[in-house]
Chain A
Amino acid sequence: MNNQLNNLKEEYLGQEIPKELKGLVESSIKKAKKENRSQHYFRFTSGVLSAAAAFVLIVNISPDVAYAMENIPFVGSITKAVTFRNYSKTDQNMNIQMTIPHIDGIENSQLEEQLNGHIEQYTAQIQQAYEKEVAETSGLPFGAYDTDYQILTDSSRYFSMRIDTTVTKGSAAQFSNFFTIDKQTGEILSLSDLFKDKTDYLDLISRDILKQMAHQIQTDDNISYFIGDGWSDDETFKQIKPDQNFYITTDGHLVIAFDEYEAAPGYMGMPEFTISDDIYMPR
């Protein structure tokens, strides 16, 4: 570069920097980041999957065939049989942290095996997706996978659990897996198990949800779902899937859970709907 310009550049970059500047910059960054965190579920993201979520190849493990078990009914708490193990790994530009549940010590050993098998299979998929992302990406932003579980219900009849994963890579994306055990039959439930044969339960449930969505949108300006005008045809929510995430609450209600972006824009997070009694009687 021209000599004059070089000298000018030196002078320019040699100008005084107030000593407070760095601190002010750092605290501005911190403030903005903090606000972003808490706003995560309330900001419109135009329904486009974050890059992190696009990498994830998690398939919902759906027990479409009910596991026929020896009919060993067991009552009592499963919660105390739930332990967990930690899995974590740090790579150059990402890390993964998983708290993986493990059932140990329920009477029905076959069920115990099946459950743990499910959990291992599902969490292994998450690890695979993580490894894939490590291999395919490099550099900033730093990525993190965080998996944890929660026992939702442990009533006399049902046991429901969810496994949640948050993938952060710049922005964050979440997805969950749910499973519910019928303690009376010792089965891991699929939605169809909850309804009599020949009931078009997918239709009934979906209508109920659509009604609730419409009502919510009407009464609260901040709420939106992928229904009505304004969404493309394949974006619009029309019906739940046969392997839609669901769980049973402590008082026996059926709750349908959606993943991020499944039925609503990102800022809505992961909406859930309690299905009305006339479609599913709590038990």
Chain B
Amino acid sequence: METLIEQAILDNYQNLYYLAFQYVKNQQDAMDIVQDSVYKAIKQHKKLKDREYVKSWLWKITRNTALDFLKNQHCHSASLETLTLTKEDHYLDIDLYQALDHLNETERTIVTLKYFDDFKIEQIADILNENINTIKSKLYRALKKMKIELDVEDQI
């Protein structure tokens, strides 16, 4: 599976970077997280049993690495669940910042995985280690917060 993972990394590292960036909000840390995650993914290639899961697997590793990073930092802001973006996060384009501003970490991750990284609900449930219904309801709530109305065909 090593070669498969390598290819998936080369195809997706930019999105993995964007994901890491959402968590740590600065370039250097985000790059460190991606480097670390990529290394782990190749080292632990034997843990990937089904090639179909390679993308989810990469995201899972990256997200967990980012979360570990934050835990280890002496950052005494509110718990991860209520972590919100602040106005000082100038990196984000205004619309994007505004849209994601009111979401908590999980909601933001779910929106990102679904609409930016193109994962399916089942895959998101696997990556976040939640059940499908939980993901659906959190996604629904996130979209409400973002004031996004979905057309009929895009319903969750």
A positions within 8 Å CB-CB of B: 1-2, 4-5, 7-9, 11-18, 20-22, 24-26, 28-29, 31-33, 35-36, 43, 45, 140-142, 170-171
Contact = CB atoms under 8 A, between A and B. Distances in A.
Given A141-B1, A171-B45, A11 B93 contact: yes
A7 B95 contact: yes
23 contacts: A1-B154, A2-B149, A2-B154, A5-B115, A5-B148, A11-B93, A11-B95, A14-B93, A15-B21, A21-B14, A28-B35, A28-B36, A28-B39, A29-B10, A32-B38, A32-B41, A32-B42, A33-B42, A36-B42, A170-B1, A170-B2, A171-B45, A171-B46
Interface of B: 1-4, 6-7, 9-10, 13-15, 17-18, 21, 27, 31, 34-36, 38-43, 45-46, 91-93, 95-96, 99, 112, 115-116, 146, 148-151, 154
Contacts of A141: 1-4
A35 B21 contact: no
A2 B7 contact: no
The prevalent SS among residues of A at the interface is helix
A140 B3 contact: yes
Given A4-B148, A28-B35, A171-B1, A9 B95 contact: no
Contacts of A32: 38-43
- Between A12, A17, A45, A171, the greatest number of chain B beta carbons within 10 A of the residue's beta carbon is seen for A12
Contact of B34 (A13, A25, A171): A25
Given A18-B27, A32-B42, A8 B95 contact: yes
A9 B15 CA distance: 11
Given A2-B149, A7-B95, A33-B2, A25 B18 contact: no
B85 to A, nearest CB: 13
Given A4-B99, A28-B39, A33-B42, 11 more contacts: A2-B154, A12-B96, A16-B91, A17-B14, A21-B31, A25-B9, A29-B10, A35-B43, A141-B2, A141-B4, A170-B4
